[in-house]
Structure 1
Amino acid sequence: MSQTNRGRAQDRARVAAGQDHEVRYEADKEGVSKADVKDAVHEVGNSRNKVEQKLEEGR
């Protein structure tokens, strides 16, 4: 895991549904709405790979 400027660990393999910037990034990346990303996180958990797979299934 990489570290932030403040020394905190970053986990880029996770999508935090409560973090608007992460949800917005994933929505823009996948071409879906923020609500779709949040729904996917609630269904499959916060693993970025699983969320992306779930969003691709819905297309």
Structure 2
Amino acid sequence: MPDDKSKTDNRDRDRVSGDEEYEVGYFASKFGLTIPEARQLIAKHGNNRDTLEREAKALGNR
């Protein structure tokens, strides 16, 4: 189900929704990951954006 665009209170800006294709796709493209790699990071580390960005950068440095 799509996000409710009428709600603009920024409650979930610090999270990456693994259920939303566009969020996973954006996260993957931002760090040069494939969709499965991005989903694997979300499954392993949760959906906290700061943690995921740190892990994605570490994955890219290997």
Computed over aligned residues only, the root mean square deviation of the Cα atoms, in angstroms, reads 1.9
Using the size of structure 1 for normalisation, the TM-score is 0.80
Q: CA offset at residue 44 of structure 1?
A: 0.8
Deviations 1:1-58 (A, max 9, x none): xxx42x3644111001111000000011111111111111111110011111111111
* Count of paired positions: 56
Unaligned runs of 5+ in 2: none
Unaligned runs of 5+ in 1: none
Contact 1:15 1:46 in 2 (8 A): yes
Percent identity between matched residues is 25
Matched, 1:38 2:36: no
- What does 1:7-46 correspond to in 2, within 5 Å? 7=7, 9-10=9-10, 11-46=12-47
Letter in 1 for 2:14: A
